[in-house]
Amino acid sequence: MNEKYARITKDGLWNNNVVFAQMLALCPLLAVTSSATNGLGMGLASTAVLLLSNIIVSSVRHLISPEVRIPVYIVLIATLVTLVDMSLNAWAHELYKVLGLFIALIVVNCAILGRAEAFASKNSVLDAALDGLMMGLGFTFALVVIGGVREIFGSGTLFANAHLLLGPAFAFLELTIVPQYKGFLLMILPPGGFLVTGLLLAWKRVLDARRAEKAALVAEEAAS
Amino acid sequence: MKLEELRGKLIYQALLVGAAALLTSALLSFFSQATEADIKAAEEADLKASLAQVLPGAYENDLLKDTVTLPGKEGEVLVYRGRRKGKVEAVVYQVSGNGYAGSIVCVMGVSREGKILGVRVIKHKETPGLGDKIEPAKGDWIHSFEGRWLGDPVTEKWAVKKDGGVFDQFAGATITPRGVVNAVKGGLAFFEGNKAQLLDEGVQP
């Protein structure tokens, strides 16, 4: 049982990462990762929606007939996103002013529909909730890493304006990596997003290939 | 009849989609009503804070209570007035321009002489990291309007540099500052066109 949870966790965070393995959600990814803080905000909002949508889809999975599942899921997800949007606007207005744009973008995040379809509709509520959380955190991780790399090369800072998102207590996160940096606009613009995402993807492939090689070697040694 | 059999029926599917749509719409309209007042209150608080930012200095009256509504280019404009010794010294009103992603709503303060006291963007959906430098928290650009009037720069120079004007655009975002500059220019024209009513000249309160 524990092994299953460990597998779901590992899948979400690394092996089957929304961005680095499934290559989903690239549209919001490229749009918002001009800084690490923006990535973090988008990631956390997406995680909340992903968690909720997985729980709801999983709990009604026996009622949904396969022929009409996609429209039902889409209506569900769009509703959830709108609810999150409205409640943030009403009750966390400061946060909404920072995240405003990102929230609506979550609707077009195909990773959410993807998880509803591939996982939540076939698994128990608890598993689906864990999967949603881990996939969301994996997505957040990818967004923060890509946003961080673009921000360092593009504007020479890291986590700039983090206090707007997380509150003044997190102002210590705001670093100036390169003082008096002139900026490298390409990294902030969408092409920079493609470049960084591509390089990180390649890097993950190399890491995974090395690990597989090592594992094969160990297995061989054990066999001989 | 078992659930599996029922699920295969066409009518079940139609009812399912209908029920999902009905439930979610009900939820949405309920939620929209529940949050409406709070959203309005939050936006009003934002407006008050912005008013204080574009009208430096103290005024003897409550700005939110001394208002006048005048017809503008795009519907009615609500103007807040700040008085000293009974005389209107400054006015504040909203203007809006077209940005890259929908309209940009600004609030601007104009002195009696027609000079800009301050401009702040209160609502926009511009790209984070590119167009959002119009926010004072993310750039100094919005301060470049302070002290300007319709004679400084001359009318045809009231534009971003790319269009032959004097205001900077941002690297990677021209539409956003262009929208704001046009909105502010329109706001000044509105002031000139309605000076008498705005300044409450001839009519004592």
CA distance B92 to A42: 35
B18 assigned to some structural domain:
yes
Does residue B27 lie within any of the structural domains? yes
Tokens standing for residue A209 = 């290939």
Q: For residue A71, what are its two tokens?
A: 């429209």
Crossing angle of helices A36-59 and A125-155, in 10° steps, is 170
Residue B205 counted as domain residue: no
Asked whether residue B204 is domain-assigned, the answer is no
pLDDT band per the 50, 70, 90 thresholds, residue A16: confident
Q: What is the mean pLDDT of residues B186-194?
A: 88
The DSSP-derived string for B134-147 is GSGGG-SGGGGGTT
Average pLDDT in chain A: 86
On chain B, the residues whose CB falls within 8 A of the CB of A76 are: 20, 24
Whether residues B38 and B134 share a domain: the answer is no
Choose the closest CB to A164 out of B28, B45, B137. Answer: B137
Residue B160 to chain A, least CA–CA distance (Å): 20
Q: Average pLDDT in the B118-128 region? A: 82
Q: Nearest to residue B107, comparing CAs of B90, B94, B125? A: B94
User: Does the beta-carbon distance from B24 to A79 stay under 8 Å?
Assistant: yes
The range of the structural domain enclosing residue B191 comes to: 57-198
Three-state secondary-structure class, residue B112: coil
**Are B64 and B153 contained in the same domain?**
yes
Q: Is residue B15's pLDDT more than 50?
A: yes
* B192/chain A closest Cα distance in angstroms: 33
B31 to chain A, any CB pair closer than 8 A? The answer is yes
Average pLDDT (A53-82) is 90
- The identity of residue B195, as a single letter, is K
**A119: pLDDT confidence band, cut at 50, 70 and 90?**
very high
Band the pLDDT of A79: cuts 50, 70, 90.
very high
Q: What's the rounded Cα separation, in Å, for the pair B2 and B169? A: 66
Chain B residue numbers with beta carbons less than 8 Å from the beta carbon of A27 are: none
- Put simply, whether B24 touches A (Cβ < 8 Å) is yes
Work out the minimum CA distance from A128 to partner chain B, whole angstroms: 20
Mean of the per-residue pLDDT values of chain B:
84
pLDDT score of A19 more than 70: yes
Determine the pLDDT at residue B202: 54
What pLDDT score does B18 carry?
93
Rounded CA separation A53/A76 (Å):
7
Residues B156 and B72 in one domain: yes
| Boundary (domain end) residue, out of B13, B36, B51 | B51
The pLDDT, as a whole number, for residue B44 is 80
Domain residue limits, chain A? 2-223
- Average confidence (pLDDT) over A131-141: 94
Query: What pLDDT shows up at residue B26?
Result: 95
- For residue B205, pLDDT over 70 is answered with no
Q: What is the residue type of A129? A: A
Give the Cα separation of B76 and B67 in Å (integer). 12
3-state secondary structure (DSSP) of residue A31? helix
pLDDT at B10: 85
- The mean pLDDT of A104-115, rounded to a whole number, is 85
Tokens encoding B123:
């609502």
Are B80 and B144 part of one and the same domain?
Answer: yes
Best residue in B1, B25, B43, B127 to probe A by mutation, most A CBs within 10 Å?
B127
Contacts of A210 by beta carbon, 8 Å cutoff, 6+ apart: none
CB contact under 8 A, B130 and A63: no
Residues B158-179 have pLDDT tens digits of: 888 888 888 888 877 888 999 9
Please check the confidence at residue B2 and state whether its pLDDT lies above 80.
no
Residue pLDDT, tens place only, A142-173: 999 999 999 888 888 888 877 777 777 777 88
Q: What is the pTM of this model?
A: 0.71
**Residues B131 and B173: beta-carbon distance below 8 Å:** yes
Strand residues in A69-123 grouped as ranges (E)? none
Residues of chain A contacting B24 with CB distance shorter than 8 Å: 75-76, 78-79
What pLDDT is attached to residue B128? 67
- Same-domain check for residues B43 and B112: no
Model ipTM value: 0.72
Q: Which residues of A touch B27 (CB under 8 A)?
A: 79, 83
CB of A31 within 8 A of CB of B127? yes
B32-42 per-position pLDDT tens digit: 999 999 988 88
The verdict on B34 and B77 lying in the same domain is: no
Q: Looking at A52-61, A113-122, B116-125, which range is the least confident one?
A: B116-125
- What residues are paired with B69 via a beta bridge? B78
Same domain, B47 and B61: no
DSSP letter (8 states) at residue B200: T
Beta bridge partners of A139: none
- How far apart are alpha carbons A137 and A18 in whole angstroms? 10
Does the pLDDT value for residue B1 go beyond 70? no
B38 and B65 within one domain: no
DSSP conformation letters of chain B: --HHHHHHSHHHHHHHHHHHHHHHHHHHHHHHHHHHHHHHHHHHHHHHHHHHHHS-S--SS-TTTSEEEEEETTEEEEEEEEEETTEEEEEEEEEEEE-SSSEEEEEEEEETTS-EEEEEEEE--PPTTTGGGGSGGG-SGGGGGTT-BTTBS-GGG-SBGGGTSSB--BTTBSHHHHHHHHHHHHHHHHHHHTHHHHTTTT---
| Tally of domains within chain B | 2
Give the pLDDT of residue A49: 92
Same domain, B11 and B78: no
Max mean pLDDT range (A118-127, B7-16, B129-138): A118-127
Same domain, B73 and B145: yes
pLDDT in tens, B59-103: 777 777 788 888 877 778 888 888 888 888 888 888 888 888 888
Within this chain, do residues B103 and B190 fall inside the same structural domain, yes or no?
yes
Shared domain check, B136 and B61: yes
